[in-house]
Amino acid sequence: MAAEVQMYVVEAVEKQYDGKDKICWRLITSHEVNSFEDALHIINIYRKRWYIEQLFRLLKKQGFAMEETQLETGWAIRKLCVLGLNTVIRVMQLMQATEEENASVVFTNEEQQCLQHLNTKYEGATDKLKNPHKPKSLLWSKWIIARIGGWKGCSSQRPPGPITLKRGLDNFMQIFAGWEMAKNVYIDVGTQ
């Protein structure tokens, strides 16, 4: 066993945000850090770990509260977790959205049509409150889902987090179910 281990410290500070909850990571690692590229590699490793933490956060207390389930068998709890993971994966895809990705990565064509209608409702009167993303991109969808989840949409605000997106996605799925029923009722009445 080694008597000592050489440690390295990487500090990453959020520059584009000045709120009290500004990110400042001080990462201690045994990986050798001798250059800026080495430091970026360590930060990227930690970012991946952070996504895992967010996944568990969504499954636990702030999300689906899996730890409060009253199911008794391991099999039933596993099935509940798998069902929850469907939504969690969609939230995580939205968290990592880029302008190049199409909304169809996460949303069906019908869901995208509903999002298009909701976009006009959630956009504000000023240019600052308009959805700044390319229509039908995953970032465009993320902006709408975040607004449904309670995010204000201001550029001065921090980007929406996973809990806001989960809340928005939950609300959207209820809106979408109602939208689908209304379309079916309209079609049924119109054909008679």
Q: Output the pLDDT for position 80.
A: 86
**d(Cα 93, Cα 83) in Å, to the nearest integer?**
16
What are the structural domain ranges in the chain?
A: 1-53, 69-191
Residue of higher predicted confidence among 72 and 155? 72
- The CATH H-level (homologous superfamily) assignment of domain 69-191 is Transferase Inhibitor Protein From Tn5; Chain (1.10.740.10)
Tell me what percent of the residues of the chain surpass a pLDDT of 90. 47
Q: Per-residue pLDDT averaged across 4-33, rounded?
A: 87
